[in-house]
């Protein structure tokens, strides 16, 4: 069935059946004209939300008499729309200046295009094309109609594209601290993509806070107390500090009590310069170490700890995988909660997208599972 044949009533059956209401006759008047029944039709137009009907006036039953009164609407519209399928076909034919090319774009026959254009011409009562031997030429009325509808169809197409989800991947741009990205988020991204295959995560890392005014971001991971006036902040996990080192390092340098840390090399993160002091204060130990190595970020300090360089102070959730696998060990049971946390943030004046909300739900579930493993 071609496009122009869709939902077309049988003209002979319409002419023989009394009291018929045709929901499509007003859109396809040419079929009734071709069968000689056009004069028998009277069109009742209703505003959007009402039915648009054509009935045989002389065959209307008493039940249909006064139908306008029952609907409570006027029998005329101030600015009724022409049939949209023929209108769209005309727009394409006028734009391409060819019925053949229009047929190719619509994937129908050239005859179908010609019929649709003829239906619109019949509806409007004017010729839209001059059909010359060398091709098509728009009439004055055709050119005026094309000028009026071409931009409208473009806008309709753009609007449909914006809301359509067919074949579209949702993009979620997130910025995270390097350590958060490397040690926690990246190892779990496969699980997120499996759960949400239509969401494309674009992950960037930075040691500085995101600037939503200058960066094209949907959200950012941020560490602190959550008090940022312009940001909506969803707390993901508490900052819990614990010293870590490799099993071989611990074997070579036994650490029986916190004060023993003064005898070994400590690894510092310049991104979190106060973590060692916070942990030492929490265990009431004054650590004095003349040896130390400073790294740009915590991820580098953790990596150095895995290869026997020294003891790093770690945010526990970031090294949990290494602790479970035995790559790192925690020589002391004491941990320190600083009161800060890691948050998923976005601007308060920006409504979060559905992919962002799905990401937040997923990341919270992952954090809850991590917490359950820590308690076990």
pLDDT tens digits for 314-353? 999 999 999 999 999 999 999 999 999 999 999 999 999 9
Phi, psi at 258, each rounded to 5°: -55, -35
- The pLDDT score that the predictor gives to residue 165 is 54
- Least Cα distance to 174 among 205, 136, 148 occurs for 205
HSE-up (13 A, CA, CB side) for residue 98: 9
CATH topology (fold) of 84-163: Arc Repressor Mutant, subunit A (1.10.10)
Q: Which DSSP state fits 263?
A: G
Residue ranges, comma separated, of all CATH 1.10.10.10 domains in the chain are 84-163
Strands 219-224 and 170-176: parallel
Structure tokens at 20: 């018929």
| Class of 169-376 in CATH | alpha beta
94 contacts: CB under 8 Å, gap ≥ 6: 128, 129, 138, 142, 145, 146, 150
**Per-residue pLDDT for 61 more than 60?**
no
Lowest mean pLDDT among 38-47, 69-78, 91-100, 332-341: 38-47
Residue ranges, comma separated, of all CATH 3.40.190.290 domains in the chain are 169-376
- The pLDDT score that the predictor gives to residue 371 is 81
User: Full-prediction pTM beyond 0.75?
Assistant: no
CB 316 within 8 A of CB 335: yes
CB 39 within 8 A of CB 82: no
- The pLDDT score that the predictor gives to residue 78 is 61
């Amino acid at each position: 069935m071609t496009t122009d044949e869709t939902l077309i009533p049988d003209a002979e059956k319409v002419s023989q059946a009394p009291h018929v209401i045709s929901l499509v006759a007003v859109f396809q008047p040419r079929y009734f004209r071709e069968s000689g029944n056009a004069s028998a039709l009277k069109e009742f137009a209703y505003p959007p939300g009402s039915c648009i009907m054509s009935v045989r006036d002389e065959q209307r039953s008493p039940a249909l008499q006064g139908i306008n009164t029952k609907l409570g609407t006027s029998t005329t519209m101030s600015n009724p729309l022409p049939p949209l399928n023929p209108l769209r076909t005309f727009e394409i034919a006028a734009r391409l200046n060819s019925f053949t090319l229009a047929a190719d774009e619509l994937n129908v026959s050239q005859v179908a295009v010609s019929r649709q254009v003829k239906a619109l011409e019949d509806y409007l009562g004017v010729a839209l094309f001059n059909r010359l031997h060398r091709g098509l030429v728009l009439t004055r009325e055709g050119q005026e109609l094309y000028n009026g509808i071409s931009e409208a169809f473009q806008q309709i197409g753009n609007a449909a594209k914006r809301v359509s989800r067919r074949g579209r991947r949702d993009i979620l741009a997130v910025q995270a601290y390097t350590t958060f990205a490397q040690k926690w988020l990246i190892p779990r991204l496969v699980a997120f993509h499996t759960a949400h295959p239509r969401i494309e995560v674009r992950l960037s890392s930075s040691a500085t806070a995101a600037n939503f005014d200058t960066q094209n971001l949907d959200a950012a991971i941020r560490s602190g107390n959550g008090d940022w006036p312009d940001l909506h902040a969803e707390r993901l996990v508490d900052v819990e500090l614990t010293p870590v080192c490799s099993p071989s390092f611990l074997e070579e340098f036994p650490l029986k009590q916190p004060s023993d840390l003064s005898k070994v090399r400590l690894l510092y993160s310049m991104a979190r310069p106060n973590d060692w002091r916070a942990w030492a204060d929490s265990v009431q130990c004054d650590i004095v170490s003349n040896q130390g190595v400073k790294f740009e970020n915590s991820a580098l300090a953790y990596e150095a700890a895995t290869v026997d360089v020294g003891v790093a102070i770690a945010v526990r959730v970031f090294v949990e995988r290494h602790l479970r696998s035995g790559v790192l060990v925690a020589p002391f049971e004491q941990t320190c909660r600083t009161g800060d946390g890691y948050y998923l943030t976005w601007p308060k004046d920006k409504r979060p997208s559905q992919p962002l909300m799905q990401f937040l739900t997923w990341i919270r579930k992952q954090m809850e599972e991590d917490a359950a493993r820590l308690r076990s």
